[in-house]
């Protein structure tokens, strides 16, 4: 799913028009006023293709937001999520695009419209989707969020007024170009679509995640930042998938490696294998992650509470 956040003043019809022009299922996500009970907000997610496919998020308790998914056949029960990323993870397998309007502090590709002033936020109210910092929250009152805290994701475009206005066509172009938000469930569903799925008896998966520390004595890792060699990384991943799929008894292989800033505890990389039997499935998953780490030019910067460094430079 291609997900793009829009921060600043934007005409809602621009987002609606862009959603209608995109080829695929589109979820438009926006903040709406609550019902008057204390001025709380809620999240509204609408499917641009079918009015029956809706998702509502009651975030009146931000640390324990209630997400009710009610698209036809997907889910009709209330679940609890603790970050906006979790909401996106729920949407990703079912949607091709997500246009998110009215939220700050999301670690997503972002379009900024108009000026982006500093914002006062309650002391200690650090959003779960904000980029981690080494600075502890204040003891009381309000603190001022910096621009990088308001928009921790990559800013892919800025529109500053009359001379540069965000249009529906430009929004379509931007969301089509962003790095996809991929989940393990997305990849599992993808391999299940194989023409040889009826011959498969096993799906094996590997998930790599950000480790906070190797041993109790280590400085805590707050987050990792990944950069890829554009074009080359995608070609290498595709070649690995093709060559592993050519193995006897292996029907489909899917991989994904995230880029950008990823906090400790979050997922980094997925390898999924559809195979006839567990033996070839397990072996191919193991070989897949080994080859990905050895052959794909993705560079990692590690940030701990004490320092930050490029891992390949220190290993060398």
Q: What domains lie within the chain, and their CATH numbers? A: 2-177 (no CATH), 184-315 (3.90.1170.40)
Query: pLDDT tens per residue, the chain (316 residues)?
Result: 899 998 887 888 898 899 889 998 888 877 654 443 333 444 555 554 433 344 444 444 333 333 343 333 333 223 333 467 777 888 888 888 989 887 777 778 889 887 664 443 333 333 444 433 333 333 444 444 455 566 766 788 888 765 578 899 999 999 999 888 899 999 999 999 999 999 999 999 999 999 999 888 899 999 999 999 888 999 999 999 999 999 999 999 999 999 888 888 889 999 999 999 999 999 999 999 999 999 999 999 999 999 988 888 877 5
DSSP string, 202-234: EEEEEEEE--S-SSTTSPPEEEEEEEE-TTHHH
DSSP strand pairing (26-33 vs 2-8): unpaired
Is this structure's pTM higher than 0.75? no
């Amino acid at each position: 799913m291609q997900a793009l956040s829009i921060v600043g003043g934007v005409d809602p019809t621009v987002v609606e028009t862009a959603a209608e022009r995109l080829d695929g299922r589109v979820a438009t996500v926006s903040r709406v006023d609550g019902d008057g009970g204390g001025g709380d907000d809620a999240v509204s997610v609408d499917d641009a293709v079918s009015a029956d496919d809706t998702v509502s998020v009651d975030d009146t308790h931000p640390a324990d937001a209630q997400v009710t998914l009610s698209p036809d056949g997907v889910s009709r029960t209330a679940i609890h999520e603790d970050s906006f990323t979790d909401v996106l993870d729920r949407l990703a397998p079912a949607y091709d695009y997500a246009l998110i309007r009215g939220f700050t502090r999301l670690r997503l590709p972002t379009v900024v419209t108009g000026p982006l002033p500093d914002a006062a936020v309650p002391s200690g109210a650090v959003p779960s989707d904000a980029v981690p910092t080494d600075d502890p929250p204040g003891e009381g009152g309000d603190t001022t969020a910096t621009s990088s805290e308001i928009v921790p994701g990559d800013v892919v475009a800025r529109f500053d007024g009359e001379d540069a206005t965000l249009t529906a066509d430009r929004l379509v172009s931007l969301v089509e170009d962003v790095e996809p938000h991929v989940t393990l469930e997305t990849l599992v569903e993808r391999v299940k679509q194989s023409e040889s799925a009826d011959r498969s008896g096993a799906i094996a998966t590997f998930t790599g995640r950000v480790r906070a520390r190797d041993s109790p004595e280590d400085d805590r890792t707050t987050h990792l930042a990944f950069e890829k060699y554009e074009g080359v990384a995608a070609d290498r991943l595709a070649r690995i998938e093709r060559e592993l799929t050519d193995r006897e008894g292996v029907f489909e292989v899917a991989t994904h490696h995230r880029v950008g800033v990823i906090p400790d505890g979050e997922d980094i990389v997925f390898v999924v294998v559809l195979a006839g039997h567990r033996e070839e499935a397990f072996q191919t998953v193991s070989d897949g992650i080994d080859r990905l780490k050895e052959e794909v030019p993705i560079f990692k910067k590690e940030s701990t509470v004490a320092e930050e460094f490029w891992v390949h430079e220190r290993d060398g």
